[in-house]
Amino acid sequence: MAGAVAGIAEQVWTPGADLVVAVDGDGMRHLVELAPAGAAESGRRAPRERGSGPGGSGRRGGGDRRSAAARRAAAHSARTERVVDGTGRTVQYVGERRWELSATGFWQPHYGAAQCYSDVVGEWADAAPGALVWDLYCGVGVFAARLAERVGDTGVVHGVESARTAVAEGRAALRDLPWVDLTADRVERWIHEQPSAAPDVVVLDPPRAGAGKDVINALSERSPRRIIHIGCDPAAFARDVGLYRAVGYEPAALRVFDAFPGTHHVECIAVLER
């Protein structure tokens, strides 16, 4: 959006830090600097691996795998935030509903995407009043809110998300919908812990890596009438569709959105039925 990156090049930033720029639904820009990942560990020197010193073979051993795992853990650990512009708390709207969330939390990168995808999910869910619906990888509950409108107060919407902050923000936004239950948990574990009642509709919006075999197989055992699967990486999305087909679900409809201009990513939404 116009003005989103104005003045950023003229400022001095911490080397290795990440910048988060968000323009919210009220038009306010929020600019937050995230400290470098693993900054607390940066002063430590990695131990020398056998064979990696002068005259060694240079082959990678278990130590490199441990180092890679440590780097991944550091990238996902809590990082110090410095709010440079705005408040660091964004306001977003879908329909007439308002969310307030951290500027460093997840929201769709395309300005109109949340509303657009929500409209498609609401239409394709075709959930009747009183239905049981699952919203997996639910984030702050944008789809859960739309599904709640479809099933009404005689229905139930279960949302599951591993990010506890997102769940807390979603609960605050949906507190007027007591038939919506948002839970902080890993999706695959949550599915296995549910009673045997089969959901009528399941909506999944997994991270870029996709849902994967464990989640899709667990879903197929519950045999929902309809699955709406959303993905932003075409390769991961295609792999997941193949996994659905292997357990008896076939795509009944597909829509593709060019929501990430200038990249190879597109947003895909499919309806799958048995």
The residues carrying an active-site annotation are 232
Name 180's bridge partners. Answer: 157
The span from the CA of 274 to the CA of 79, in Å, is 44
DSSP letter for 250, please: E
Q: Could you give the C-alpha distances from 250 to 67, 204, 245, in angstroms and in order?
A: 41, 16, 5
Name 272's bridge partners. Answer: 227, 251
Cα 147–Cα 153–Cα 158 angle in degrees, nearest 5: 50
Q: What share of residues in the chain are helix, strand, coil (percent, to 5)? A: 30, 25, 45
Q: Tell me whether strands 156-161 and 180-184 are parallel, antiparallel or unpaired.
A: parallel
**Nearest of 123, 179, 173 to residue 152 by alpha carbon:** 179
